[in-house]
C-alpha cells in the first residue's frame, strides 16, 4: 500500500493542562472500611505505566477484536509528559479501516488509563479523553513491512498537551489515498478544482450575456 500520510494542523486554541479537582469528601468521619472500594476522585494518583503498557498490548494486539493488528508500541517521556503510540498492522490493511483504527487507538488508550485515575475524563463521541489535556500525543499506524520507516506510516500526527484536535474522517483519508495513488499533491488538486470553478463561472457569465 502506498503511503497515506495525513498531517493535521493543530488548533491554535489550547485548553488548560491542569486537571480539575473533583475530590468527593465522605460525609462520615469513620474512614474507609478495609476491603471497601474507594471511588473518590483524587488528583495525586500515580499511574502505573508498566501496567498500562501491558494492558495496551493486550488490548491492541487482540486479533479477534482487531484482525489486522500485528504489534503495538508505547513510549513515554515522563519529564516532557509526552506519549507516543504506534499500532503496527498487516500489509493488506484496507484504507477504509484507517479512521476507525486511529480513533480506537487514541480513545482506547485514554480510557484504559482512566481506569487507574478516575479524574481523567473518558472519551466520547465528541472527545478523545482527558489524558491528552495533560500529556502531549504522537501516534502512528504503520504497515508491518515498513514500520521502521516513519515516512511510510499510513497515518501519523503529533499534538501538544491541551490541543483541541480532530482526526480526519474516512472520506478525507480516502481523498488523501487517491491523491497518493495518482501522484497528485493536495496543492495540485486544489488548483485543479479552482480552475474548474473559474471555468464554470465564465461559462455561466457568457450564457447570461447571450
> Regarding predicted confidence, which is higher, 208 or 14?
208
Q: What contacts 98, CB < 8 A, 6 or more positions away?
A: 4, 141, 154, 155, 170, 173
Q: How crowded is the C-beta side of 139, counted as CA atoms within 13 Å?
A: 27
Is residue 196 situated within a structural domain?
no
CA angle (162 as vertex; 158, 163 as ends), nearest 5? 50
Q: Among 127-141, 161-175, 184-198, which range has the highest average pLDDT?
A: 127-141
* 13-59 confidence digits (pLDDT tens): 333 333 333 333 334 444 444 455 455 555 678 999 999 999 999 99
Packed helices 170-182 and 98-114: angle between N→C axes, nearest 10 degrees? 130
Is residue 32 situated within a structural domain?
no
Is residue 27 situated within a structural domain?
no
Pairing, β 82-89 against β 136-143: parallel
Burial of 170 (0-12, 13-18, 19+ CB in 10 A): middle
Rounded CA separation 13/28 (Å)? 42
Number of domains in the chain: 1
Rounded CA separation 105/99 (Å)? 10
Is residue 102 situated within a structural domain?
yes
Is residue 69 situated within a structural domain?
yes
Is residue 110 situated within a structural domain?
yes
Among 23-27, 170-174, 178-182, where is mean pLDDT lowest? Answer: 23-27
* 67-126 confidence digits (pLDDT tens): 999 999 999 999 999 999 999 999 999 999 999 999 999 999 999 999 999 999 999 999
Domain of 97, in residue numbers: 49-186
Is residue 178 situated within a structural domain?
yes
Is residue 115 situated within a structural domain?
yes
Amino acid at each position: 500500500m502506498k503511503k497515506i500520510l495525513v498531517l493535521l494542523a493543530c488548533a491554535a486554541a489550547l485548553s488548560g493542562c491542569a486537571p480539575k479537582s473533583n475530590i468527593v469528601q465522605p460525609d462520615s468521619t469513620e474512614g474507609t472500611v478495609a476491603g471497601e472500594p474507594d471511588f473518590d476522585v483524587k488528583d495525586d494518583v500515580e499511574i502505573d505505566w508498566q501496567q498500562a503498557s501491558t494492558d495496551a498490548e493486550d488490548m491492541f494486539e487482540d486479533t479477534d477484536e482487531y484482525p489486522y493488528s500485528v504489534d503495538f508500541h508505547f513510549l513515554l517521556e515522563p519529564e516532557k509528559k509526552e506519549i507516543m503510540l504506534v499500532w503496527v498492522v498487516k500489509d493488506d490493511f484496507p484504507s477504509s479501516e484507517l479512521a476507525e483504527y486511529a480513533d480506537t487507538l487514541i480513545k482506547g488508550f485514554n480510557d484504559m488509563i482512566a481506569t487507574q485515575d478516575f479524574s481523567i475524563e473518558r472519551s466520547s463521541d465528541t472527545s478523545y479523553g482527558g489524558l491528552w489535556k495533560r500529556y502531549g500525543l504522537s501516534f502512528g499506524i504503520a504497515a508491518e513491512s515498513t514500520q521502521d520507516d516513519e515516512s511510510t506510516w499510513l497515518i501519523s500526527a503529533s499534538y501538544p498537551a491541551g490541543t483541541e484536535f480532530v482526526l480526519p474522517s474516512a472520506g478525507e483519508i480516502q481523498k488523501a489515498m487517491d491523491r497518493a495513488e495518482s501522484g497528485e499533491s493536495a496543492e495540485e488538486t486544489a488548483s485543479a478544482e479552482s480552475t474548474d470553478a473559474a471555468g464554470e463561472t465564465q461559462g455561466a457569465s457568457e450564457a447570461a450575456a447571450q
